[in-house]
Structure 1
Amino acid sequence: MLKTSLIAILLTSTALVSGCASKLSGESYSRDEARQVQTVRMGTIESLRPVKIEGTKTPIGAGTGAVIGGIAGSGVGGGRGSAVAAVIGAVAGGMIGAATEEGLTRTQGVEITVREDDGVMRAYVQALNPNETFHVGDRVRITNVKGTYRVSR
């Protein structure tokens, strides 16, 4: 029973954490950004650099890990030893859960340095989009809606 409960909690938490992964590519828009006026600037790509975009750090990963660790720890020993093991398991599980969430939601990105038509050079970071590849020398458009910038061709 305990093993089944742990597996169910782990699968549920993985689904929740995966659902929390943000969409950081140039083609993703939030509901608030849809149907909003965007400013558009044009430019030419000067350089591209691969980067890693860190994952989310919400209470979901740590909380789920703490619950699983606490349940697992409470099954160790008996009496007062069981309570101590539950606390240690909860703390360790929380740390492992937080690290797991961050790792699962980490994204590969690209830093795109653009010389815009006004002569200013700016860098933009966004998640890699398999449907759109960039090359040095490409003409691109930079859109801004509510402070969120996107580079697209």
Structure 2
Amino acid sequence: MTPLFRPLLIGAIVVSTALTGCSTSDSARVYSKGQMRQVQTVELGTVISVTPVKMEGEANELVNLGGVALGGLAGSNIGKGTGAAAGAIVGAIAGGLATGSAQRSLGAKNAYEITVQLDRGSRTISIVQEADVVLQPGQRVRVLSGGGNDRVLPL
């Protein structure tokens, strides 16, 4: 490993590790700054069903970059000359794929698929959201819609 490459690799790992915890919330009770002071349409309804599901975790691109770097470094130790270069390429691809897959499965959250019979117009809708709001079939709820951030909350 070249003397210049080692500090860059250590820096990438530190930054990747620090940013792993940075994520957005899919909670019905958490609003992003961009959702503040925005009009939401409110419809009332009754919960028909609540089905537990898993919500896939999100990949952090900097963590993926760290996986690519580590995979490339590990692969470069295979062979000499062009074999080392080929090993670095294969290792980088494998490291990036493995890191992305691990983040999606390890970062999975418990969620609910909530089916609601709306009072108005006899429409039935379904929304998936993080499983942090207790909802049960037969429960009266309000459905907030607007800006692509719909959510179901107890009435």
Q: Distance in 2 between matches of 1:56 and 1:103?
A: 9
Opposite residue 106 of structure 2, the aligned amino acid is: L
**Fraction of identical pairs, as percent:** 37
The C-alpha deviation readout for 1:27-66, integer Å capped at 9, x for no partner, is: 1211111121211111111111111222224543432211
| Compared CA separation, residues 77 and 123, structure 1 to 2 (3 A) | same
- Structure 1 length normalisation: TM-score? 0.82
Q: Which residue of 2 aligns with 1:48?
A: 50
SS of aligned partner of 1:96? helix
Q: Which residue of 1 aligns with 2:112?
A: 110
Q: Which runs of 5+ in 1 are unaligned?
A: none
Q: Which residue of 2 aligns with 1:63?
A: 65
Q: Which residue of 2 aligns with 1:38?
A: 40
Q: Distance in 2 between matches of 1:58 and 1:9?
A: 13
- Please, which moves more after superposition, 75-84 or 141-150? 75-84
Q: Which residue of 2 aligns with 1:95?
A: 97
- Please, which moves more after superposition, 10-19 or 48-57? 10-19
Q: Distance in 2 between matches of 1:13 and 1:100?
A: 14
The answer on whether the counterparts of 1:17 and 1:101 sit within 8 Å (CA) in structure 2 is no
Measured after TM superposition, the shift of residue 15 of structure 1 is 3.7
- Please, which moves more after superposition, 97-106 or 116-125? 97-106
Is 1:123 the counterpart of 2:130? The answer is no
SS of aligned partner of 2:35? coil
Opposite residue 108 of structure 1, the aligned amino acid is: N
* Displacement over 4 Å in runs of 4+: 1-11
Q: Which residue of 2 aligns with 1:13?
A: 16
SS of aligned partner of 2:33? coil
- Structure 2 length normalisation: TM-score? 0.81
> How many residues in Structure 1 have an aligned counterpart in Structure 2?
150
Q: Distance in 1 between matches of 2:12 and 2:105?
A: 18
Opposite residue 117 of structure 1, the aligned amino acid is: D
Opposite residue 16 of structure 2, the aligned amino acid is: S
The answer on whether the counterparts of 1:74 and 1:82 sit within 8 Å (CA) in structure 2 is yes
The answer on whether the counterparts of 2:54 and 2:111 sit within 8 Å (CA) in structure 1 is yes
Q: Which runs of 5+ in 2 are unaligned?
A: none
The answer on whether the counterparts of 2:9 and 2:69 sit within 8 Å (CA) in structure 1 is no
| RMSD (Å), alpha carbons | 2.6
